[in-house]
Amino acid sequence: MPLDQSLRDRLADIVGAAACISDPAAMAPYLHEERGLYHGKAALVLRPGSTAEVAAIVTACAAAGIPIVPQGGNTGLCGGAAPHEDASEVILNLGRMNKVRGVDGENFTITVDAGCILADVQRTADDAGCLFPLSLAAEGSCQIGGNLATNAGGINVLRYGNARDLVLGLEVVLPDGRIWNGLRALGKDNTGYALRQLFVGSEGTLGIITAAVLKLFPKPAEQATAMCALDDVDNAGKLLNRARALSGDAVTAFELIPRIGLEMCAKHIAGCSDPFEAPHPWYVLVEFSSSRPDARIRASFDALLETAFEEGIISDAVIAESVERQKALWRLRESLPEAQKHEGGSIKHDVSVPVSRVAEFIKTGTLAVSKAFPGVRPVPFGHVGDGNIHFNISQPLGADKAAYLAQWGEMNRIVHDIVVGMQGSISAEHGIGMLKVEEMEHYKDSVELDLMRRLKTAIDPQNLMNPGKVVTPSRASRK
Ligand SMILES: Cc1cc2nc3c(=O)[nH]c(=O)nc-3n(C[C@H](O)[C@H](O)[C@H](O)COP(=O)(O)OP(=O)(O)OC[C@H]3O[C@@H](n4cnc5c(N)ncnc54)[C@H](O)[C@@H]3O)c2cc1C
């Protein structure tokens, strides 16, 4: 249904003229999508300043049958925050709702508007003497609402869990415009269904998250970081197990980097260089931390490196002796996606397998894609401590980028078949968005898919909340 002038006027009244954007140039940044895979159009971009305004927008749009695309920092990697091409949708961007509603150091909680930037939440927690552990390379621009809507992972999942594990309560505007105030700050609440968990990971398809109560933790008192060099990716799993055992489970990060990825960073990203004198096939960035001042983190770290050397698990290691050195090591890991962009097209797979099968997956996957697409350059990296591999395949040197990317679906199928054969997941942390709707339908158990569709229909019967993302109505009932 087209957005008529009277509804446009009504929506502009709700948010104020400055927050109602229809000028194509001003709208452009909201239509931009991180990977450039989608080029949508919107009827309007609205930037509400309060939950009441969000509710009023949703109520008005629901009455007129206008679909809404919730949008946070627009850093998502599956096209979930991008509108479709028919310009029928309204983008509802949460960026103006960026207030911290309160920090409760005694109960280790923070209550924030959904539009708060992740890095600002981390800083506010830090100022209060606490830690908010969610951390990812997009933290300077992604928002808490987006982090929860995608159930973001990042580098600290091993120790603190995904976004899902960090949320105690939510405030949500439902597809009919009602506000659900579930802003509870309880560690235990067994009064029926855990509704908040329905909205976490729903990618804006069930409602708009407007605020959240998040868990805080004591700040680490001691931390140690090193980059370890490995001759064989098989050794990554052994290193992780030794690290967990020797540290008393104080491993907070365990990130894999292949030689080709390190070379790409050193070549394309300012401030990145190889920390080792000789090249090695694989690297793992390991971090231990503890909030106990007497945890002797550095001593157990040294013990790990000594044991790993003796057992032939690692062939070299560089310990970060200063904060600058620690940042330089992390910069290598965090620059990988950007560095890969300079090498032409990259076909992505954000997948997970049981941790014990990570090396097997990388080897099998590399063989399979290299056989099917000769000359491709696999760059498998990521949060392997969680079994999560970003199995990104750079185009052959000198290949045509568009022609290479046209093989996206074909390559996905080869890789995802291997993943599913290993009881893994075709989306470990980035979600489904528009990118993987059909892929998920292909692999998901029919009972699970049916439950998801029933939930979607029960909560959003008009299919107006981010339609076409995550789960589509069943083919039989689709209009
Ligand atoms: C350099 C880089 C590194 C990244 N690293 C990681 C990583 O390590 N781990 C990881 O998990 N992800 C990572 N991502 C992906 C991305 O940053 C996360 O998915 C992030 O959580 C998205 O937040 P956002 O605010 O940008 O959401 P958006 O991109 O704006 O939206 C993402 C989805 O959430 C929905 N949404 C947004 N806000 C709301 C809301 N308030 N209510 C309801 N629905 C909403 C949107 O409709 C969309 O479906 C990375 C991205 C980049 C660019």
User: Same CATH fold, 343-421 and 100-218?
Assistant: no
Distance CA 178, CA 16 (A): 21
Q: How far apart are the CA of 158 and the centre of ligand 1, in A?
A: 19
Residue 291: which pLDDT band, with cuts at 50, 70 and 90? confident
Ligand 1 centroid distance, CA of 385 (Å): 21
* Residues 378, 348 contacting (CB under 8 angstroms): no
Q: Per residue in 232-248, pLDDT tens? A: 999 999 999 999 999 88
Query: pLDDT by residue (tens digit) across 1-14?
Result: 678 999 999 999 99
Model confidence band, residue 320 (pLDDT cutoffs 50, 70, 90): very high
Is residue 70 lining ligand 1, measured as CB closer than 6 Å?
yes
What whole-number distance in Å separates Cα of residue 325 and Cα of residue 469?
41
Residue 426's Cα: distance from chain center in Å?
14
Pocket test for ligand 1, best of 30, 51, 142 (most atoms within 8 A of CB): 142
Ligand 1 centroid – CA 137 distance (Å)? 11
Q: Which residues are CB-neighbours of 366 under 8 A, at least 6 positions away?
A: 378, 380
User: How high is the pLDDT of residue 477?
Assistant: 43
Name the residue at shortest CA distance from atom 28 of ligand 1.
74
CB 77 near ligand 1, within 6 Å: yes
Q: For the residues of 277-289, what is the DSSP string, one character each?
A: SS--SEEEEEEEE
CA of 66 to the centre of ligand 1 (A): 23
Distance (Å, whole) CA 3 – CA 87? 10
Which amino acid residue places its CA nearest to atom 7 of ligand 1? 154
Q: What is the pLDDT of residues 445-465, one digit of tens each?
A: 999 999 999 999 999 999 999
Query: What's the rounded mean pLDDT across residues 288-305?
Result: 89
Q: What DSSP string describes 159-226?
A: HH--GGGGEEEEEEE-TTS-EEEE----S---SS--HHHHHTTSTTSS-EEEEEEEE-EEPPSEEEEE
- Tokens 């060099």 map to which residue? 229
H/E segment holding residue 113: strand 109-113
Residue among 150, 383, 436 whose CB has most ligand 1 atoms within 8 A, to mutate: 150
The protein residue whose alpha carbon is closest to atom 23 in ligand 1 is 146
pLDDT at residue number 475: 52
Give the distance (Å) from ligand 1 centre to CA of residue 312.
39
Note the CATH architecture for domain 5-93.
Answer: 2-Layer Sandwich (3.30)
Which residue among 69, 75, 383 has the greatest number of ligand 1 atoms within 8 angstroms of its CB, and so is best to mutate? 75
pLDDT of residue 292: 85
Select from 3.20.20.60, 3.30.70.2190, 3.30.450.20, 3.40.50.300 the CATH code of 222-337. Answer: 3.30.70.2190
**pLDDT band, very low/low/confident/very high, at 479 (cuts 50, 70, 90):** very low
Atom of ligand 1 nearest to the CA of 137: 3
| CA 72 to centroid of ligand 1, rounded, Å | 7
CATH code: domain 343-421 is: 3.30.70.2740
What is the pLDDT confidence band of residue 34, given thresholds at 50, 70 and 90? confident
Q: Does ligand 1 lie within 6 Å of residue 136's CB atom?
A: yes
- Residue ranges per structural domain of the chain: 5-93, 100-218, 222-337, 343-421, 437-477
Taking only the tens place, the pLDDT of each residue in 49-70 is: 999 999 999 999 999 999 999 9
Q: When comparing pLDDT for 30 and 33, which is higher?
A: 30
Run of H or E residues at 56: helix 51-64
Q: Is the pLDDT of residue 478 over 90?
A: no
Lookup: tokens for 306: 């000594």
Query: Phi and psi of 229, rounded to 5°?
Result: -100, 135
Average pLDDT, the chain: 95
Could you tell me the distance, in angstroms and rounded to a whole number, from the CA of residue 304 to the centre of ligand 1? 35
- Ligand 1 pocket check for 72: Cβ under 6 Å: yes
User: From the CA of 142, how far away is ligand 1's center (Å)?
Assistant: 6
pLDDT, tens digit, 9 for 90 and up, residues 386-404: 999 999 999 999 999 999 9
CATH architecture observed for domain 100-218: 2-Layer Sandwich (3.30)
Confidence of residue 295 (pLDDT cuts 50, 70, 90): confident
For residue range 83-133, list pLDDT tens digits in order.
999 999 999 999 999 999 999 999 999 999 999 999 999 999 999 999 999
pLDDT for residue 1: 65
